[in-house]
Chain A
C-alpha cells in the first residue's frame, strides 16, 4: 500500500503529517507507531524549516515494513549532527538515525530532495536497540549535488539499493527487501558525495 499526501507550509502540518502516517499503521506495535511518529515529525519539521513551500509525505506500507519519505523543494542538505548538551538544535536526524532501521537522502528529479526512513514491523520495538548498536560510524550524512556526483539508481524506488554504499544511507539490519518500484522514495538518482 502506497499513499501520499501534500502538506501546507505551516507549523501545524507537522502534527497533520504525523496523524496521516499514523493512520496507515494503526495495527502495529505501540513502540513502532511511536517511533514512526517521532521520525515523521522530525523530517516534516526539517522540511518546513529548511525548505521552501510545503512538503509531501509518501508512505509505503507492507506487512513487513513501513517506509516513509518526506519530499520538499529545499536545496539544503540535512546533516547528521552531534550537538553538545547545551546546543538546543541539530538533533532531528540523530533521532531518525536511532529509531529507524535505515534512512537516507535522495535528490529528486524536480531539484528537491527526499529524506526517508524505513522501519521493520516484524518485531515489536524494533529500530532502536538500547545496547549501543544504533551508533553511527559515519560522522556526517550528506549527499552531493554536483552533476558528476549523481549516479543512476540501480533500482529506482528502492531506497536500500539506490543509496547503497553511500554515507547517506545506513543499513541495519542488512536485510534487503524488494520495494515496489512505484514507491518513488528515491526517485531517479541517488547522490553520492
Chain B
C-alpha cells in the first residue's frame, strides 16, 4: 500500500502488527526527499508503535539526511530496526557508530 510517492522515495508498509509496522523504503533518501518520507511515515508514529522496522532493500541511496530521520524516529519510538541494508549504507552506519543502535551486527 503506497502512502506517499515523492520524487525519489516510495514508502510502503506491512501492517501485520500496528504496534510493530514494517516500513519499506524505496528510492533515494536525501535532503530533497526526507520531508516527504517523514510525512509518509507519520501516521505509523501516531499509532504509538513500540517498534518500527525499516526494510531498506529497495532503497538505492541514503545519506546523513536519511540517518537523521531514522534517528528521529528512533527517539520517538524507542526501537528502530533496519533490515536488508546495502553495503554502502552499512558502511555509513558503521562510520557513524549507529550499527548497534539500529539492530545491525558489526
Contact = CB atoms under 8 A, between A and B. Distances in A.
How many A residues are at the interface, by size bracket?
Answer: 20 to 34
Nearest to B101: A85
Interface string B24-66: 0000101110000000000000000000000000000101110
B74 A14 contact: no
Nearest to B106: A130
B91 A98 contact: yes
B31 A94 contact: no
Contacts of B98: 85
A12 interface: yes
Contacts of B69: 88
A45 B31 contact: yes
B60 to A, nearest CB: 10
Q: How large is the interface on B (under 10, 10 to 19, 20 to 34, 35 or more residues)?
A: 20 to 34
Majority SS of interface residues in chain A? helix
Nearest to B87: A31
A99 B95 contact: yes
A35 B31 CA distance: 17
Given A18-B61, A99-B91, A86 B75 contact: yes
Given A15-B28, A98-B95, A134-B95, A91 B67 contact: yes
B103 interface: no
B71 A88 contact: yes
B68 interface: yes
Q: Which of B72, B96, B97, B101 has the most CB of A within 10 A?
A: B96
Interface string A41-77: 1100100110000000000000000000000000000
B91 to A, nearest CB: 5
The 6 closest A-B CB pairs, nearest first, are: A98-B95, A88-B68, A34-B88, A11-B32, A41-B63, A88-B71
5 contacts: A12-B32, A15-B30, A41-B61, A45-B63, A128-B91
